[in-house]
Structure 1
């Protein structure tokens, strides 16, 4: 038992002594940058254009398949434009700059 105690204490001392020979490097964080305010988008009549965050919905995949049949591909996919519920409206941005819009009522979707 004494041998085990001596062995463990020697290992602890040896590992503890090696800590003193090393120097710690201090990494300092870069100063925080203030984000530039996002520009306000305005249409030709001066009305403010609001950006809607991309949100997927229950019928997003169905609308993406419908859009692909119409030749609309690319982008993030079909995003939900209305709150989730029995009637939902989806929009998808196409590669060619057009948008594909569909209305789904109880998961039955039709192009608009």
Structure 2
């Protein structure tokens, strides 16, 4: 009889020991750190105080054509000809001239159905 109680007492001890896992008190989670407010970049303004919109650089189907046209006018360097308008049948491209005869200027072209002319 004594041997039959030994496994039973071990089982009871394990079960009671496991119950303490569910009743244990844990420290509350720390409060999240305050998030610093993100300051927007200062707006670019023209001489009249009108905001200047920044357009991200995107290539278009006629970027290479506009770059060749710009090179013919003495405008080279930079990222190349970027699409300013939405892609479509009529597109406007812009290229900053960092080298050549037009250094510091901007070359722009309008392309309609891949036929480009300087603006």
TM-score normalised by the chain length of structure 1: 0.67
1:101 counterpart = 2:108? yes
Distance of aligned partners of 1:44 and 1:73 in 2 relative to their CA distance in 1, 3 Å threshold: same
1:4-83 equivalence runs, <5 A: 37-83=40-86
Q: Offset of 1:39 from its aligned partner?
A: 1.5
Distance in 2, matches of 1:40 and 1:107, equals: 34
Distance in 2, matches of 1:37 and 1:46, equals: 18
Structure with the greater alpha carbon radius of gyration: 2
Q: Offset of 1:49 from its aligned partner?
A: 0.7
Q: Offset of 1:97 from its aligned partner?
A: 1.1
Structure 1: tracts of 5 or more residues without a match: 1-32
Q: Offset of 1:35 from its aligned partner?
A: 6.4
TM-score normalised by the chain length of structure 2: 0.63
Structure 2: tracts of 5 or more residues without a match: 1-35
Figure out how many residues of one structure are paired with residues of the other and give that number: 81
Name the structure 2 match of 1:13.
none
Name the structure 2 match of 1:11.
none
Q: Offset of 1:37 from its aligned partner?
A: 3.2
